[in-house]
Amino acid sequence: MRQLPSGILPIDKPERITSATVVNRIKKSPEVKKAGHTGTLDPFATGVILCLVNQATRLSRFFLSGWKTYDAVMVLGTETDTQDGTGTVIKKYAVPKIDNRLIQETMARFQGEISQIPPAYSALKHNGKPLYAYARDGAPVHKSARRVEIDRIDIQRIDLPEIRFRVCCSSGTYIRTLCADIGSELDYGGHLKDLRRIESSGFRIEETEPLKKLEQLAAEGRLSEKIVPMAPALRGMAAYTADKALTERIKYGKMIYQHEVDGIPENDYIKVIDSDANLLAVLSRPKDGDRLDYCCVFHHG
């Protein structure tokens, strides 16, 4: 059985399964040697998951740090222990008619760089064990607040107690914590009811395929039709096309110096491709010095 070309499978995750389950179902294809994902979605959430296949698993850090966009529904007046609709209700409030302007002004204050305390029910690790495991055992671990960035929050509909909104945020942002914090700021509590990721690291929901369709294509030996090659998948990263000499240096892992490479971009990271647009390497530019460092090198053929 031939091996699937290395690249990215943009998947529309269905609800009621974990992100790890999505990857495991892709890994059942005999064409897939290795696979991983680039950012967990809770089981109740749906939307964009980027599955990295074969050599592309080595690019995970460039996608993990990417911006995400979500469509969310927040419910005011009810707090849960998980900050979402899957948890146990711990407090309820009567929600009167709230002026829409107050809601808009309150939510606008969460734009920009904010501080978030990760939820006790999360996959973050403590001593090698996920936080949700401690919480389920009745001994929740509370992590320190972290800085995250909300690029924008756009309210789409207010139909109290529900508020539908779209949010673009940095990696590591918890939308359920955002809902709980907004509810607290309004003095009525709140939790996340529905969540759909519509963009991740530049990949939009329109570019994804349902998991079941990808499994069917895998069964037919046609999964390669949906693979996005590694070089174009690194959207927004500066590119440089290597000549024969540079290709040979990369192939054998030889030192590369900026002054030797004419016209190489002055970005922090550069994807180096060959004349066929195959990804040869990702290089990083140190803050000082002339040398370019290897982040990862790829072999083709």
Residue burial 169-195, b: 16+ Cβ < 10 Å; e: rest: bebbbbbbbbbbbbbeebebbbbbbbb
In this structure, what token pair is assigned to residue 188? 């009525």
User: If DSSP codes are grouped into helix, strand and coil, which group holds residue 164?
Assistant: strand
CA dihedral 96, 99, 102, 106 (to 10 degrees): 50
In this structure, what token pair is assigned to residue 172? 């590591």
Candidates 42, 71, 84, 181; catalytic one: 42
What sign has the CA pseudo-torsion 246, 248, 251, 253? Answer: negative
In this structure, what token pair is assigned to residue 129? 């064990």
Query: Is residue 190 within 8 Å of residue 78, measured between CB atoms?
Result: yes
- Residue 120, φ and ψ in degrees, nearest 5: -60, -35
Query: Is residue 226 within 8 Å of residue 209, measured between CB atoms?
Result: yes
Annotation says 290 is catalytic: no
Amino acid identity of 157?
R
- Sequence-ordered list of residues with C-beta below 8 angstroms from that of 99, at least 6 positions apart, any chain: none
Supply the Cα-derived Rg of the chain in whole angstroms. Answer: 22
What is the chain's length? 301
Residues labelled as active-site residues: 42
